[in-house]
């Protein structure tokens, strides 16, 4: 069965499972290399009205930070777990856009890659960070094995002086329908049952 033939309903809940890769600000590349690192990711989103969804995501990745300050070029990194909550909009049947607020929590101690004696730190030493992430999803619903890809851009709200926290991400995932919403007829029957109960 093709997912393209499923009629959307309010209350539908979709899950995306896959691998998430992040690349930090390009200025880091010439110092420690900046290859994409793949980590597991999960996104759950539910339809609240036609073309509008609430979205929740969980990701784990290793973030790198560069700070250009006081004549130093300091680069540090730390492993983080991210939670995000936001809004998703269906533009076309195969294309969604989203914007979410995220919180990132460090796991373990940060590592330093340059300027080992620099008298300062980066946001890698901050236990909790917050920011905004935006994304574009391109989905394939024409087959029985629906795959999708999301392109993300993230930016933390707070930065150290001279610091770069831009993050570019790619999420490649398998998507499936976890819960089907009620039909209009089912909603009407449920409403009548509730009214009948309250009248008693």
Domain 3-199 fold is: Porin (2.40.160)
Confidence (pLDDT) at 142? 59
Tens of each residue's pLDDT in the chain, 200 residues: 445 566 778 889 999 999 988 877 655 555 554 556 788 999 999 999 989 999 999 998 888 888 888 888 888 888 899 999 999 999 988 899 999 999 999 998 888 887 788 888 888 889 999 999 999 999 876 566 788 999 999 999 988 888 878 888 899 999 888 888 776 676 666 666 666 666 65
> The tokens 């539910």 sit on which residue?
46
Domain segments of the chain: what residues?
Answer: 3-199
Q: Using one digit for the tens of pLDDT, what is the confidence trace for 13-22?
A: 999 999 988 8
Looking at residue 1, its pLDDT comes to: 46
3-state secondary structure of 56: strand
Number of H helices, E strands in the chain: 2, 9
Query: How far, in Å, CA of 168 to CA of 156, rounded?
Result: 12
Quick check: pTM over 0.95?
no
Question: What residues are paired with 131 via a beta bridge?
Answer: 102, 156
- Distance CA(66)–CA(118), nearest Å, equals 13
pLDDT for the residue 196: 66
**67: closest CA among 128, 126, 132, 109?**
126
Place of tokens 């979205």: 55
Beta-strand ranges (E) seen in 50-94 are 52-69, 72-92
């Amino acid at each position: 069965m093709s997912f393209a033939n499923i009629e959307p309903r309010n209350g539908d809940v979709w899950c995306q499972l896959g691998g998430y890769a992040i690349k930090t600000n390009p200025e880091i590349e010439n110092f420690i290399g900046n290859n994409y690192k793949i980590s597991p990711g999960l996104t759950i989103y539910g339809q609240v009205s036609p073309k509008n969804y609430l979205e929740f995501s969980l990701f784990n990745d290793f973030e790198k930070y560069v700070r250009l300050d006081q004549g130093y070029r300091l680069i540090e990194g730390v492993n983080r777990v991210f939670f995000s909550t936001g809004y998703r909009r269906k533009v076309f049947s195969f294309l969604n856009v989203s914007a979410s607020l995220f919180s990132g929590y460090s796991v373990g101690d940060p590592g330093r890659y340059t300027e080992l004696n620099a008298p300062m730190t980066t946001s890698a030493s901050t236990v909790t960070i917050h920011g905004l992430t935006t994304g574009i999803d391109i989905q394939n619903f024409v087959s029985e094995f629906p795959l999708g890809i999301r392109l993300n851009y993230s930016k933390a709200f707070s930065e150290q002086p001279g610091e770069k926290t831009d993050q570019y991400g790619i999420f490649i995932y398998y998507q499936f329908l976890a819960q089907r919403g009620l039909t209009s007829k089912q909603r009407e029957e449920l409403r009548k049952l509730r009214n009948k109960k309250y009248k008693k």
